[in-house]
Structure 1
Amino acid sequence: MMSDVKVVTIDGPSGSGKGTLARRLANRLGFHLLDSGALYRLTALAAQKAGIALDAPEVAALAESLNVRFDADGAAYLDDVCVDDVLRTEQTGAMASQIAARPDVRTALLARQKAFAVAPGLIADGRDMGTVVFPDAPAKLFLDASAEIRANRRYKQLIERGLSANLSALVDEIRIRDDRDRNRAVAPLRPATDALVIDSSDIAIEAVEAQMLEYLRARGIC
């Protein structure tokens, strides 16, 4: 990581709001944005496209050679085809969670993630940004919320997009993913020891952003 690049990490479980807040902070500060979860989702989609099982050793090599890019609005492209809609589905998220537990895949994507740290700064959104990828980052945040709250948020998003959804099933899926992410042997989901932990369960997004900005100002980030 370049010494003159300000890196802010935002970790947390799925549905905690970290992606939305990472984009808001990146836009406000004029920083670059790393959606690390998208890289795992793209790897999973690439494996599916190639007919490779998620537990096959070839997945790690696939992660190293991904042909992916993001446009200015954050839309993801795999082999020059926009896959943003399928990328954000619960099914793709579950596949990504499976391969994210693999040490070889995490190693394959580590250098690619670190390369996002360029001037003037980076907002890195993920699950191990502050603990593994950028352990020396000057500002670390961990955003959490109850499984029920996160499932309800996801339910509303799906309904607004005209998709069918089952709230109780979403709660179960989130709990299963949380358990997998928090108990995996490599880079488990947990706050860095020096991270500011914010529970967004009962706090409006504007209030959470205000807390984050206050924290970043105190550290000379903005």
Structure 2
Amino acid sequence: MEKITIAIDGFSSTGKSTVAKQLAKELGYVYVDTGAMYRAVTLFAMRKSYIDDDGFDKEGLVNDLSQIRLRFVFNPEAGFAEMYLNDENVEKEIRQMEVSRFVSQVAAVPQVREILVAQQQEMGREKGIVMDGRDIGTVVFPDAELKIFMTASAEERAQRRFKELQERGEEVTYAAVLENVQQRDELDTTRKDSPLVKAEDAIEIDNSHLTLAGQFEKILELYEGTKK
């Protein structure tokens, strides 16, 4: 069966990565979490003190982009590929709330997006890929055969993220997580370069009240529909 490109975009904490991993595994496709790439660059910027609560030295980060090497390494125990930054496994660290606070600002830098989009397009050159992010169906793969746009209420997304962080042992409050979700929505949808928007030919799925199983079955049906 001829392989296709599947682009899954949407707001933060809508479960894009979860369903994308499921779909890739079911179809035997490659899965790429573009959010992990932007998070890794953010972690790099934080470690180099280019970004913190006092400001953002964009020029410093841009000048240092050549020092960033990103790659995904499959972890057979976890069942998915983990993010490596300069040969260091940073999968757990990039998921922390501290990184979430700054990732939208870093992702808005045109030079960062230019470099990462080029890498993402190269990854999907042979098709047979499921990629999730903010601009996959609009910028990275505008010709993708299947485009999904996922959304849910900010309150529901914050509750999911809050539960996830608690399970990891992070000390956070629901109010802080909700504020972060709302701030990221604002930054993602209003940035000048590749803002988060629904592609005209994308199928929107509001999963505020969908179970993970229901969501997966719905998207799998959409995939099957592309084969008819």
TM-score clears 0.5? yes
Mapped partners of 1:47, 1:172: distance in 2: 22
Mapped partners of 2:172, 2:142: distance in 1: 37
User: Where do residues 5-84 of structure 1 align in structure 2 (5 Å cutoff)?
Assistant: 6-53=4-51, 54-72=56-74, 73-84=80-91
Q: CA deviation at 1:85?
A: 1.5
Mapped partners of 2:185, 2:152: distance in 1: 11
In the alignment, what sits opposite 1:132?
139
The reply on whether 1:208 has 2:215 as its aligned counterpart is yes
- Give the TM-score normalised by structure 2: 0.89
Q: What are the ranges of 5 or more consecutive residues in structure 2 without an aligned counterpart?
A: 75-79
The reply on whether 1:153 has 2:151 as its aligned counterpart is no
Q: What are the ranges of 5 or more consecutive residues in structure 1 without an aligned counterpart?
A: none
The reply on whether 1:195 has 2:202 as its aligned counterpart is yes
Mapped partners of 1:159, 1:148: distance in 2: 16
Does the CA-based 8 Å contact 1:6-1:138 persist in structure 2?
Answer: yes
Mapped partners of 1:194, 1:208: distance in 2: 19
Aligned-partner residue type, residue 10 of structure 1: I
Does the CA-based 8 Å contact 2:17-2:132 persist in structure 1?
Answer: yes
Mapped partners of 1:116, 1:141: distance in 2: 19
Mapped partners of 2:192, 2:99: distance in 1: 22
Offset from partner CA, 1:77-100 (integer Å, 9 cap, x none): 212221111100122122221011
Q: Secondary structure at the match of 1:71?
A: strand
The partner residue of 1:141 within 148, 169, 172 is 148
Residues matched between the structures, number: 218
Q: Secondary structure at the match of 1:16?
A: coil
Greater displacement, 58-67 / 189-198: 58-67
Q: CA deviation at 1:120?
A: 5.4
* TM-aligned CA distance change 1:109 to 1:120, over 3 Å: closer
Greater displacement, 82-91 / 137-146: 82-91
Runs of 4+ in 1 over 6 A off after TM superposition: none
The reply on whether 1:95 has 2:102 as its aligned counterpart is yes
Q: CA deviation at 1:68?
A: 2.1
CA RMSD, Structure 1 to Structure 2 (Å): 1.8
Does the CA-based 8 Å contact 1:41-1:93 persist in structure 2?
Answer: yes
